[in-house]
Amino acid sequence: MHPHVVEACVSLQRRIARMQGYNQWLTDQAEEALTELVNNPDRSSPPAHLIRNALANASKKLKRRSELGEAFLPTMSFGSDRAAYSTTTENIIDVGRVLDSIQVGPRALLERAADGADAEEIADELGLPAQRVRERLSRARAEARKFWMGALS
Protein backbone atom coordinates (compact mmCIF):
# COMPACT_ATOMS: atom_id res chain seq x y z
CA MET A 1 0.00 0.00 0.00
CA HIS A 2 1.37 3.38 -1.01
CA PRO A 3 2.20 5.72 1.93
CA HIS A 4 -0.14 8.40 0.56
CA VAL A 5 -3.02 5.92 0.64
CA VAL A 6 -2.15 5.01 4.22
CA GLU A 7 -2.15 8.69 5.22
CA ALA A 8 -5.49 9.23 3.47
CA CYS A 9 -6.97 6.18 5.22
CA VAL A 10 -5.85 7.47 8.61
CA SER A 11 -7.44 10.83 7.88
CA LEU A 12 -10.71 9.17 6.85
CA GLN A 13 -10.65 7.02 10.01
CA ARG A 14 -10.39 10.21 12.07
CA ARG A 15 -13.31 11.68 10.15
CA ILE A 16 -15.40 8.56 10.80
CA ALA A 17 -14.56 8.71 14.50
CA ARG A 18 -15.65 12.38 14.65
CA MET A 19 -18.86 11.90 12.67
CA GLN A 20 -20.10 8.63 14.12
CA GLY A 21 -23.27 9.22 16.08
CA TYR A 22 -23.61 12.82 14.88
CA ASN A 23 -24.05 12.74 11.13
CA GLN A 24 -24.81 9.32 9.66
CA TRP A 25 -24.61 10.43 6.03
CA LEU A 26 -21.10 11.87 6.44
CA THR A 27 -20.07 8.73 8.34
CA ASP A 28 -21.36 6.52 5.52
CA GLN A 29 -19.63 8.75 2.97
CA ALA A 30 -16.29 8.46 4.78
CA GLU A 31 -16.68 4.68 5.17
CA GLU A 32 -17.41 4.27 1.45
CA ALA A 33 -14.38 6.46 0.64
CA LEU A 34 -12.22 4.37 2.97
CA THR A 35 -13.39 1.19 1.25
CA GLU A 36 -12.49 2.67 -2.13
CA LEU A 37 -8.99 3.60 -0.96
CA VAL A 38 -8.38 0.17 0.57
CA ASN A 39 -9.53 -1.49 -2.66
CA ASN A 40 -7.07 0.67 -4.68
CA PRO A 41 -3.91 0.57 -2.54
CA ASP A 42 -1.40 1.50 -5.26
CA ARG A 43 -2.63 5.01 -6.04
CA SER A 44 0.11 7.59 -5.61
CA SER A 45 -1.73 10.92 -5.69
CA PRO A 46 -1.30 13.28 -2.73
CA PRO A 47 -3.47 12.28 0.27
CA ALA A 48 -5.69 15.37 0.01
CA HIS A 49 -6.53 14.51 -3.62
CA LEU A 50 -7.14 10.86 -2.75
CA ILE A 51 -9.54 11.87 0.01
CA ARG A 52 -11.36 14.44 -2.11
CA ASN A 53 -11.81 12.03 -5.03
CA ALA A 54 -12.84 9.12 -2.81
CA LEU A 55 -15.38 11.30 -0.96
CA ALA A 56 -16.81 12.57 -4.26
CA ASN A 57 -17.17 9.02 -5.58
CA ALA A 58 -18.73 7.93 -2.28
CA SER A 59 -21.24 10.79 -2.48
CA LYS A 60 -22.30 9.67 -5.95
CA LYS A 61 -22.62 6.09 -4.75
CA LEU A 62 -24.71 7.06 -1.71
CA LYS A 63 -26.93 9.29 -3.83
CA ARG A 64 -27.60 6.44 -6.27
CA ARG A 65 -28.30 4.11 -3.35
CA SER A 66 -30.72 6.64 -1.87
CA GLU A 67 -32.50 7.08 -5.20
CA LEU A 68 -32.87 3.32 -5.55
CA GLY A 69 -34.16 3.11 -2.00
CA GLU A 70 -36.73 5.81 -2.65
CA ALA A 71 -37.81 4.04 -5.83
CA PHE A 72 -38.11 0.52 -4.42
CA LEU A 73 -38.73 0.77 -0.67
CA PRO A 74 -42.28 2.18 -0.96
CA THR A 75 -43.26 -0.87 -3.06
CA MET A 76 -41.92 -3.34 -0.48
CA SER A 77 -43.93 -4.56 2.48
CA PHE A 78 -42.34 -4.61 5.92
CA GLY A 79 -45.46 -5.79 7.73
CA SER A 80 -46.35 -2.27 8.75
CA ASP A 81 -48.53 0.53 7.45
CA ARG A 82 -45.75 3.03 8.08
CA ALA A 83 -43.41 4.07 5.28
CA ALA A 84 -39.80 2.96 5.76
CA TYR A 85 -38.26 6.40 5.16
CA SER A 86 -40.86 8.69 6.71
CA THR A 87 -39.07 9.43 9.99
CA THR A 88 -35.69 9.89 8.35
CA THR A 89 -37.10 12.20 5.70
CA GLU A 90 -38.95 14.27 8.30
CA ASN A 91 -35.76 14.63 10.37
CA ILE A 92 -33.73 15.69 7.33
CA ILE A 93 -36.35 18.30 6.47
CA ASP A 94 -36.32 19.52 10.09
CA VAL A 95 -32.51 19.80 10.07
CA GLY A 96 -32.67 21.77 6.83
CA ARG A 97 -35.27 24.10 8.34
CA VAL A 98 -33.12 24.58 11.45
CA LEU A 99 -30.00 25.35 9.39
CA ASP A 100 -31.96 27.84 7.29
CA SER A 101 -33.05 29.68 10.43
CA ILE A 102 -29.50 30.11 11.76
CA GLN A 103 -27.38 33.11 10.75
CA VAL A 104 -24.74 32.61 8.07
CA GLY A 105 -21.67 32.83 10.36
CA PRO A 106 -22.75 30.24 12.95
CA ARG A 107 -24.18 28.01 10.21
CA ALA A 108 -20.83 28.02 8.37
CA LEU A 109 -19.06 27.04 11.60
CA LEU A 110 -21.53 24.21 12.24
CA GLU A 111 -21.22 22.93 8.69
CA ARG A 112 -17.42 23.04 8.86
CA ALA A 113 -17.51 21.16 12.18
CA ALA A 114 -19.96 18.64 10.69
CA ASP A 115 -17.50 18.07 7.84
CA GLY A 116 -15.01 16.86 10.42
CA ALA A 117 -12.91 19.94 11.18
CA ASP A 118 -12.03 20.57 14.79
CA ALA A 119 -11.74 23.98 16.45
CA GLU A 120 -8.00 24.24 15.77
CA GLU A 121 -8.43 23.61 12.04
CA ILE A 122 -11.25 26.15 11.78
CA ALA A 123 -9.20 28.65 13.81
CA ASP A 124 -6.28 28.26 11.39
CA GLU A 125 -8.58 28.86 8.42
CA LEU A 126 -10.18 31.94 9.97
CA GLY A 127 -7.00 33.30 11.54
CA LEU A 128 -8.58 33.36 15.01
CA PRO A 129 -7.48 31.90 18.33
CA ALA A 130 -8.73 28.34 18.89
CA GLN A 131 -10.45 29.33 22.14
CA ARG A 132 -12.49 32.00 20.31
CA VAL A 133 -13.58 29.42 17.71
CA ARG A 134 -14.56 26.97 20.48
CA GLU A 135 -16.72 29.69 22.05
CA ARG A 136 -18.35 30.50 18.72
CA LEU A 137 -18.98 26.81 18.03
CA SER A 138 -20.54 26.43 21.46
CA ARG A 139 -22.85 29.38 20.84
CA ALA A 140 -23.73 28.11 17.36
CA ARG A 141 -24.58 24.65 18.74
CA ALA A 142 -26.72 26.22 21.47
CA GLU A 143 -28.56 28.31 18.86
CA ALA A 144 -29.10 25.25 16.64
CA ARG A 145 -30.32 23.25 19.64
CA LYS A 146 -32.79 26.03 20.48
CA PHE A 147 -34.17 26.07 16.92
CA TRP A 148 -34.22 22.26 16.80
CA MET A 149 -36.25 22.02 20.01
CA GLY A 150 -38.61 24.63 18.60
CA ALA A 151 -38.98 22.64 15.37
CA LEU A 152 -39.81 19.46 17.30
CA SER A 153 -42.55 21.12 19.37
Q: What is the pLDDT of residues 104-142, one digit of tens each?
A: 888 888 888 888 888 898 899 889 999 999 999 999 888
Mean pLDDT of 36-61: 90
What pLDDT, on a 0 to 100 scale, did the predictor assign at position 52?
Answer: 92
In order of their start, the domains of the chain are: 1-79 (no CATH), 85-153 (1.10.10.10)
pLDDT in the model for residue 144:
82
pLDDT, greater one: 88 or 11: 11
Q: Which contacts qualify for 4-7: CB closer than 8 Å, 24 or more apart?
A: 4/43, 4/44, 4/45, 4/46, 4/47, 4/50, 5/37, 5/40, 5/41, 5/42, 5/43, 5/47, 5/50, 7/47
The larger pLDDT score, comparing residue 58 to residue 96, is at 58
Q: How confident is residue 82, by pLDDT bands cut at 50, 70 and 90?
A: low
Query: Mean pLDDT in the chain?
Result: 81
pLDDT above 60 (res 80) = no
* pLDDT of 79 over the 60 cut: no
pLDDT band at 27; cut points 50, 70, 90: confident
